[in-house]
Amino acid sequence: MTGMVRFLQTSDWQLGMTRHFLEGEAQARYTAARIDAIRAIGEVAGRERCDFVLVSGDVFDSNLVSARTVARSLEAMGGIPCPVYLLPGNHDPLDAASVYTSSIFRRDCPPNVVVLDAAGVHQVAAGVEILAAPWFAKPALSDLAADAVRAADPPGEGVTRILLAHGPVDVLSPDERSPALIRLADLEAAVDEGCLHHVALGDRHSRLSVGRTGRVHFSGTPEVTAFREEIPGDVLVVDVDRHGHEVHPHRVGTWTFTTMRRHVDTAEDLDDLDAEFSAIDPKDRTVVRTALIGTLTLADKARLDDLLERWEQSLAARLTWEGHDDVAVVVDRDELADLGVGGFVAHSVEDLAGQADDENGDPHARDALALLYRLAVR
């Protein structure tokens, strides 16, 4: 039937992205995982017999990504068994320095990859149109989605039209003054009038259907980029025509960024924490941000530090959530006596214990004692 179409919706590949908390080989594997996500998308598109793949912006993390990132990304896109339509977003706008007009992109772009470098209607199959709203500069100075809808003639009889746009929608954004906000009500009015049959949005890195029509969707990023993302790692397979509409998520992401907010006051709390780290799988693709609150003895604090150091070696990364983490140490004179240190170390312990002693004791002295304790018991 004319106008019936199945496609894969994705966005925010952010190819070339770096994360400050990933060191050495972990960053290299994370960079490779974003390119592996392209191959995983190709597998889903092939298995689900998608007619094409739509990428709703931020294909690249910046217009300044390395030549290697561009070459490897295009190589992976060339393996997708259907046409791939790329929409420039706020991270990779079609400005004078655009990655899409770079010599390396032009040299390596495979024949199945099309950059939507003009706003407006692109016919992609019999009875199927993409209405594209690419970014030409950052920041955008207007609602590019509304501009594209307003500028286009209504679709012809029997034609399915899909809007491809990038940016935050007004109902989700706290920054109400931004002129680039996509006004959801305008999109839904266009859906109601039969001018749009699906809206494929990018910018939000978490999967979400917005509005009352069920036709406006963020796919989210295929591979996690930040701790705050609720449902990263998915792509959408969409069936649509003028009357019917179905959207199914498929998981392609392999990395996890997770926050552990826990109270640590007792040895049992540390047992639980240790067990939680132990259960993480796969560790080398998981980044854990800890926010630990509590008060520990010198011995337990030493155990906590050992435990964190141990798991840091098998995880992709473990970092402390600054401002949300507060582990205090209680200094017990008996614990210090058990250390059995002598000479100048004993003097240091005595000095630090004096500074740490009372209720308002110096937290740095307590941390120093905890470290000293930890090194001594080793």
Chain positions contacting Mn ion, by CB under 5 A: 12, 58
Instruction: Quote the CA–CA distance of 256 and 225 in Å, as a whole number.
Output: 9
Number of helices (H) and strands (E) in the chain: give both, helices first: 10, 16
Q: What is the DSSP string of 320-366?
A: E-TTS-EEEEE--HHHHHHH---HHHHHHHHHHHHHH-STT--HHHH
With both helix axes pointing from N to C terminus, report the angle between 343-356 and 363-377 in degrees, rounded to the nearest 10.
Answer: 140
- Which residue is at the shortest CB distance from Mn ion? 58
- Nearest to Mn ion of 12, 108 (CB atom): 12
- Nearest to Mn ion of 180, 356 (CB atom): 180
Report, in Å, the least distance between residue 64 CB and Mn ion. Answer: 15
- Nearest to Mn ion of 12, 223 (CB atom): 12
Report, in Å, the least distance between residue 12 CB and Mn ion. Answer: 4
Task: Collapse the DSSP code of 262 into the 3-class scheme (helix H, G, I; strand E, B; otherwise coil) and give the result.
Answer: strand
Report, in Å, the least distance between residue 219 CB and Mn ion. Answer: 11
Token pair for 348: 């240091």
Q: How far is CA 287 from CA 17, 21, 234, 303, 327, in A?
A: 15, 9, 18, 21, 21
Report, in Å, the least distance between residue 205 CB and Mn ion. Answer: 6
- Nearest to Mn ion of 133, 152 (CB atom): 133
Number of residues in the chain: 378
Q: Are 90 and 135 in contact (CB under 8 A)?
A: yes
Amino acid in position 296: L
Report, in Å, the least distance between residue 90 CB and Mn ion. Answer: 7
DSSP 8-state secondary structure symbol assigned to residue 155: P
Report, in Å, the least distance between residue 170 CB and Mn ion. Answer: 18
- Nearest to Mn ion of 14, 160 (CB atom): 14
Report, in Å, the least distance between residue 35 CB and Mn ion. Answer: 17
- Nearest to Mn ion of 60, 373 (CB atom): 60
Q: Are 13 and 34 in contact (CB under 8 A)?
A: yes
> What is the edge-to-edge ordering of all strands in the sheet holding 198-202?
120-125, 128-132, 160-166, 198-202, 216-218, 208-210
- Nearest to Mn ion of 58, 108 (CB atom): 58
- Nearest to Mn ion of 58, 234 (CB atom): 58
Instruction: Quote the CA–CA distance of 282 and 300 in Å, as a whole number.
Output: 27
Report, in Å, the least distance between residue 174 CB and Mn ion. Answer: 17
Sign of CA dihedral 89, 94, 95, 101: positive
Sorted by sequence, the CB contacts under 8 Å of residue 257 that are 6+ apart come out as: 224, 225, 226, 227, 229, 286, 287, 289
Report, in Å, the least distance between residue 92 CB and Mn ion. Answer: 9
- Nearest to Mn ion of 108, 223 (CB atom): 223
Residue 70 backbone dihedrals phi, psi, to 5 degrees:
-65, -50
